[in-house]
């Protein structure tokens, strides 16, 4: 990829984020196959986990994906422009007074409390239009969803349910990435019990990790997110195809003698004559400060043509310094490209090193990098 970047990157670009929409489509097909008879939707909240929702929707629509989940109404309106006929659900709250915006764009709220259900029912009744919505049930995560007590009130208030069209009952797994965790079975049974109280309606429980728990968790609709984007959905199992690569350009090469300090705080003291490469990348681009290195603590590694180059000192807002002393001559030069994410380091690898999760790595990648969209299925850019 670095040699190819010299051909396709803008000469002014200091970093490049390459996004493989072909791999996204491949991952969707794999998850759809695992979903068996259930419909496979796509979660594209947070701007499709940082890769750009419009590109993601267009790619997934080519695979006949017809249902999308987002976090906010603003995200839903963006998706609607690229998917005029899709079913689009908003996960993170329906507020009184927002009904007209949902209705006009044919967006479906996910109703997660009795108050939200009542507000949506009142809006539909006022419009004399039984509009669709999902109802989320709290099966033990205690984040969003109707608890059993509110379900009982709702079931005993049939006029509320008759005012709109429930098209999906759903809940969310808290520990699906840990396949042996007893919480999964506990939530499954709770969901089955709560679902049985409602009139017949399609159901959804499985997120990315839930798909790998088997058909008992699939119900009528699965909702993969992170796995779509090449993240490891289940602990101990390999991820699907990676879809992002991040490369940064070397801005400067210089040498410093043993005993010199590198970076803010002078936390890294050189123990030898060192050749230092400075990259135009930093925490403003989503490379966490905790990935810096100080004396006695290693940090991030960059890669040039497969050769590792460890970070020296702190990661700054816009700059990272690497030790390229041991690289073969001619590899690390001003203008050379350094892999931060790609063949040698996945989003999950970076997350483990940073003490976080791959979700945060993906959604933190900044927008200063030139974005290049490719399709490995067709060999096009």
Cβ-contact 293, 343 below 8 angstroms: no
d(CA 276, CA 323): 5
Q: Which residue has the tokens 């709220």?
A: 109
> Is 283 known to be catalytic?
no
Does the pLDDT of residue 282 top 70, yes or no? yes
Q: What angle do CA 248, 254, 260 make, to 5 degrees?
A: 110
CA 272 from chain centre, in angstroms, equals 41
Residue pair 206/173 in contact (Cβ under 8 Å)? The answer is: yes
- Please report, for the chain, the start and end positions of each structural domain, with discontinuous segments joined by +: 35-229, 244-374
> Cα dist. 250→220, 319, 336 in Å?
50, 10, 5
pLDDT at 201 exceeding the cut of 70: yes
Burial, 122: exposed, middle or buried (Cβ in 10 Å; 0-12, 13-18, 19+)?
middle
Q: Which of 195-199, 248-252, 305-309, 376-380 has the lowest mean pLDDT?
A: 376-380
Mean pLDDT taken over the chain? 95
pLDDT-based confidence at 379, cuts 50/70/90? low
Respond yes or no: is residue 264 known to be catalytic. Answer: yes
* Least confident range of 118-127, 294-303, 351-360: 294-303
Residue 1 has pLDDT above 70, yes or no: no
Which spans in 35-94 are helix H?
A: 45-49, 53-61, 73-82
- Residue 3: predicted pLDDT: 62
Check whether 118 has a pLDDT greater than 60: yes
Phi/psi of residue 13, each to 5°?
A: -70, 130
Say whether pLDDT at 14 is over 90: yes
Residue 165 CA, chain-centre distance (Å), reads 30
User: What pLDDT shows up at residue 377?
Assistant: 74
Q: How far apart are CA 121 and CA 163, in angstroms?
A: 5
How confident is residue 87, by pLDDT bands cut at 50, 70 and 90?
Answer: very high
Q: What is the pLDDT of residues 38-85, one digit of tens each?
A: 999 999 999 999 999 999 999 999 999 999 999 999 999 999 999 999
Which of 28, 45, 217, 359 is flagged as catalytic? Answer: 45
- Residue 184 confidence (pLDDT) above 80: yes
Catalytic residue, chosen from 62, 162, 189, 264, is 264
pLDDT of residue 287: 97
Same fold, 35-229 and 244-374: no
CA distance 132 to 110: 10
Q: What is the pLDDT of residues 126-157, one digit of tens each?
A: 999 999 999 999 999 999 999 999 999 999 99
The pLDDT value given to residue 2: 65
Task: Give the pLDDT band (50/70/90) at residue 294.
Answer: confident
Q: What is the DSSP string of 322-341?
A: EE-TTSPTTTS-TT-EEEEE
Whether the model clears a pTM of 0.85, i.e. scores above it, the answer is yes
**Residues 89, 68 contacting (CB under 8 angstroms):** yes
CATH of domain 35-229: 3.20.20.10
Say what the pLDDT of residue 296 is. 84
pLDDT confidence band for 279 (50 / 70 / 90): very high
Q: How far is CA 313 from CA 251, 266, 333, 378, in A?
A: 17, 7, 20, 41
pLDDT of amino acid 166: 97
The CATH T-level fold of domain 244-374 is Lyase, Ornithine Decarboxylase; Chain A, domain 1 (2.40.37)
* Rounded-to-integer distance, Cα 294 and Cα 258, Å: 15
The alpha-carbon radius of gyration of the chain (Å, integer) is 24
**Mean per-residue pLDDT for 260-270?**
94
């Amino acid at each position: 990829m670095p040699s190819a970047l010299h051909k396709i990157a803008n000469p002014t670009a200091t970093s490049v984020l390459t996004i493989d929409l072909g791999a996204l489509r491949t991952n969707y097909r794999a998850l759809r196959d695992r979903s068996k008879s259930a419909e496979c939707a796509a979660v594209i909240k947070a701007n499709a986990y940082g890769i750009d929702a419009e590109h993601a929707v267009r790619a997934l629509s080519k695979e006949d994906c017809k249902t999308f989940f987002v976090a906010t109404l603003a995200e839903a309106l963006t998706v609607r422009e690229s998917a005029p006929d899709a079913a689009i659900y908003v996960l993170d709250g329906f507020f009184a007074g927002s009904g007209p915006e949902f209705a006009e764009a044919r967006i479906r709220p996910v109703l997660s409390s009795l108050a939200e259900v009542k507000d949506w029912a009142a809006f539909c009744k006022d419009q004399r239009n039984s509009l669709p919505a999902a109802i989320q049930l709290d099966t033990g995560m205690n984040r969003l969803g109707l608890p059993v007590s509110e379900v009982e009130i709702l079931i005993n208030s049939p006029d509320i349910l008759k005012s709109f069209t429930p098209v999906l009952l759903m809940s969310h797994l808290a520990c699906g990435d840990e396949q042996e965790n007893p919480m999964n079975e506990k939530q499954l049974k709770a969901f089955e019990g709560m679902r049985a109280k409602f009139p017949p309606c399609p159901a959804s429980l499985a997120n990315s990790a839930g798909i790998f728990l088997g058909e008992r968790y699939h119900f009528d609709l699965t909702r993969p997110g992170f796995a779509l984007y090449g993240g490891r959905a289940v602990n101990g199992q390999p991820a699907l195809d990676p879809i992002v690569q991040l490369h940064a350009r070397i801005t400067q090469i210089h040498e410093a003698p043993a005993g010199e300090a590198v970076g803010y705080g002078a936390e890294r003291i050189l123990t030898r004559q060192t050749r230092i490469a400075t990259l135009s990348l930093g925490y403003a681009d989503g490379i966490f400060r905790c990935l810096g290195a100080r004396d006695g603590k290693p940090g991030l590694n960059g890669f040039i043509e497969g050769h590792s180059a460890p970070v020296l000192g702190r990661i700054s807002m816009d700059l990272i310094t690497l030790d390229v002393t041991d690289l073969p001559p001619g590899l690390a030069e001003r203008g050379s490209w350094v892999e931060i994410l790609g063949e040698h380091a996945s989003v999950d690898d970076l997350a483990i090193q940073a003490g976080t999760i791959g979700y945060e790595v993906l959604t933190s990648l900044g927008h200063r990098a030139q974005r290049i969209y490719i399709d490995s299925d067709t060999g096009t850019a």
